[in-house]
Structure 1
Amino acid sequence: MMRFLPTEEQQAFADTVDEIVDGLGGTDIPQAWSAGDTAPGLALWQQFAELGLGGLRIAEDDGGLGGSAVDLAVVFERLGYHAVPGPYLESVALLPRLVDAGTRAELAAGAVATAAVEGVAPYAQDADAAALRFAIDAGSIGAAEAGARIESLSGLRRLSPLTASGERSPLESATLGAALDEATLAASALLLGAGERLLHEAVEYAKIREQFGRPIGEYQALKHQLADVRVALSFARPLVHAAALAIDTPTAGRDVSAAKVAAGAAARRAARTSLQVHGAIGYTAEHPVGLWIALAPVLDAAWGTPTFHRARVARALTRA
């Protein structure tokens, strides 16, 4: 029987993530990053490095924690809940399977790394803040230099093209596919966490925002919308955890794609509802809810669009 609840150890790790983020400034960190000040975010990265987060999916023999894919999903949900900025997905989920032992040791020690993947993630996130940058194509990986940043809907995803520089190492297609599935799993967990935060913010604001002399949370129509978000997130969570459990099995691709579709749809629903609850204030840079409202659709389209992942699920079911 599959278990879809975190263990005591996983919950303790997640609680520690919450405590570190809150202790260093909470929403001030992603707001500063979005405004161009990376110092608070990099200070948070250093704290997570001391916790061992960089080596979460790296074997103990290589200096990591040797954590499971479920551990990854639990932690990345909390990162999404706090809108933690930085290329954690690339450093923690994508690259450990693709780089050599020496680079894995750097990642485990907390090096900030990012990557662009041809045809999947053509722009690297936060290349200007990364010490290690990699350009990846279907058959190889190598160091890269960053070009000029491009505009992104979310200030938390500062994107740049990469140009390969120096020697390249060969990559087997199966290895790259497994790494991309792990990155997609991490993106799904980020979406789940972002959706949970959007729901929390909407519920809390609905208690204090008034129309016609009553808190808007008392209106039945809005209660139904918030309940729909709760249902969508609750249905997405077991799919994300099932994908984590299946990450090294033959059904990994199908299960990861199903999780990404469900988590993305739930997060986008949460963003729409939260924006409706907050009204125009949700668009302002001053209110932190805008961080997640912008992040949800961007993450939904990253690491494979919903159309791509639905097609992959359909192909898997047809073959079955």
Structure 2
Amino acid sequence: MSSEMAILLKQTVTRLFGDLVTEKVLSDAENGVWPEDLWAALEENGLTQPLIPEERAGVGATWRDTYVIVRAAGYFSAPVPLPETTAAGWLLSQAGIDVPEGPIGLCRATDGVVLNEEGKLTGKLHRVPWGRRINHVVFSVADRIVMASTESCRLDHGANVAGEPRDDLTFEDQSVETAVGSLPDAAEHCGALIRSAQIAGAAEKALEEALAYANDRVQFGRPIAKFQAIQQSLAVMASETAAAGCAAELAFQAADKGDAGFEIAAAKIRNGEAGDLVAATAHQVLGAIGFTREHHLNYATRRIWSWRAEFGSASRWALKLGRATIERGSENLWSDLTVR
């Protein structure tokens, strides 16, 4: 992060989340309460659509700038669809579709979702993030970007391990807005991109919680952070957290250049692995207290466990990356690894 825009965005989003994402807000959100004040503040400060050009009433930020917003959403466990709205808005803008106001959903469409020649949508979108709180959802069907209103669809409530809404939306012969996207499965790529940054942020929070506890918890006359075994665990956590941040930030930078499929796949794979290790080790350091509702660690780790599987698991993206590498041929392998 080096641009003045990124610095300003980081300061703004950190202040807002620090003030408004309280323990009560997080607890209430898991019980179905929408944090109206938080979302209103994000909209008022232009943080919901940073990637939209200024001439279209956006901020005009780059993906590289926007990384700090999405990572902060993960760090603070922000209970709003800010990353999804940001990515969906960019997809719509790139496709020439007007970006609606309010929270926008982003999801993968399965094979059962059909868009006919008349532009009518039929099928079920599974586990849509924040489905009950959005007015529109954006997804890909083949090479097309689709935006559907959720006003008349059937809604079946669900949730992930973190208690975030993951709802099924069923459409029947519904008119939608659609346009050719920048690449096949563009929505899944954008979803994997934002989840990699959120995992990086949540991993940083988990590391901080483990460090604080290890320095405060006294056993055998000294803080447990003084014991070599704990130091080793914390060092591994720190290295994995740093790697996750690097992988996600590089993927966001690549998104500004166009074809970022390689970097997005690498980030989703790397951060899924890093998130697993960081979450498990943090709970080993804290013991049972980390699983209690009163401790903030579980807000971070439950989100890591949820986000690692969304928009494609590490194994799914590893398969995609492997197939793409084979298609490129062995003569391009070294340059693909080093030039990027």
TM-score, normalised with respect to structure 2: 0.83
Are 1:59 and 2:65 matched, yes or no?
Answer: no
Counterparts of 1:131-150 in structure 2, within 5 Å, are 131-134=135-138, 137-138=141-142, 139=144, 140-144=146-150, 145-150=153-158
Correspondence 1:191 to 2:199: yes
Deviation at 1:209, TM superposition (A): 1.7
What's 1:72 paired with? 66
1:23 aligns with 2:23: no
SS at 2:247 equivalent: helix
Cα distance between partner residues in 1 of 2:39 and 2:149: 22
2:10 corresponds in structure 1 to 14
- Listed one character per residue, the Cα deviations across residues 145-202 of structure 1 (whole Å, up to 9, x for unaligned) are 25221242111x2111011253023343545533432322111111100000000011
Per-residue deviation, 1:80: 0.7
Structure-to-structure mapping, 1:54-203, within 5 angstroms: 54-98=48-92, 103-104=98-99, 106-107=100-101, 111-119=102-110, 122-134=126-138, 137-138=141-142, 139=144, 140-144=146-150, 145-155=153-163, 157-164=164-171, 166-172=174-180, 174-175=182-183, 177-203=185-211
Aligned equivalents of 2:9, 2:139: Cα separation in 1 = 32
Change (3 A) 1:169 1:101: same
Answer yes or no: is 1:217 the counterpart of 2:225.
yes
Conserved? CA contact 1:116–1:162, under 8 Å? no
- Give the secondary structure class of the aligned counterpart of 2:216: coil
CA distance in 1, matches of 2:190, 2:159: 26
1:295-310 to 2 correspondences below 5 Å: 295-310=303-318
SS at match of 2:176: strand
**Residue number in structure 1 paired with 2:36:** 42
Contact 2:136/2:148, CA 8 A, preserved across alignment: no
Counterpart contact for 2:247–2:267, Cα < 8 Å: yes
Which structure features the higher share of helix residues?
1
- State the one-letter code of the partner of 2:167: S
CA distance in 1, matches of 2:245, 2:49: 24
Q: Which deviates more from structure 2 when the two are superposed, residues 267-276 or residues 27-36?
A: 27-36
Q: Which runs of 5+ in 2 are unaligned?
A: 112-124, 333-340
Asked if the contact 1:57–1:65 (Cα under 8 Å) also holds between the matched residues in 2, the reply is: yes
The one-letter code of the counterpart of 1:9 is M
- AA matched with 1:172: V
> 2:130 & 2:193 partners in 1: Cα distance?
20
Residue 277 of structure 1 is aligned with which of 285, 288, 307? 285
Distance 2:24 2:324 in 1: 43
Partners of 1:45 and 1:81 in 2: how far apart?
Answer: 17
**Which residue of 8, 18, 33 corresponds with 2:29?**
33
- SS for the counterpart of 1:147 is strand
User: How far is 1:96 from its partner?
Assistant: 3.2
Residues 189, 235 of structure 1: alpha-carbon distance in 2 compared, 3 angstrom cutoff: same
**C-alpha displacement at 1:224, in angstroms?**
0.7
Give the RMSD, CA atoms, in angstroms: 2.3
8 Å Cα contact 2:140-2:186 kept in structure 1: no
Distance 1:146 1:65 in 2: 34
Distance in structure 2 (CA, Å) of the matches to 1:123 and 1:171: 24
Once residues 66 and 25 of structure 1 are traced to their aligned partners in structure 2, the CA distance between those partners, rounded to angstroms, is 26
Structure of greater Rg: 2
The residue identity in structure 1 corresponding to 2:169 is L
CA distance in 2, matches of 1:101, 1:248: 18
Q: CA deviation at 1:230?
A: 1.0
Task: Quickly say closer, same or farther: Cα 1:9–1:90, change in 2 above 3 A.
Answer: closer
Tell me how far 1:249 sits from its aligned partner: 4.3
Deviation string 1:15-68 (CA, Å, 9 cap, x unpaired) is 221111222253432222123222xx2211110101101221112222111111
Q: Which position in structure 1 is the counterpart of 2:246?
A: 238
Say whether the 8 Å CA contact 2:103–2:133 is kept in structure 1: yes
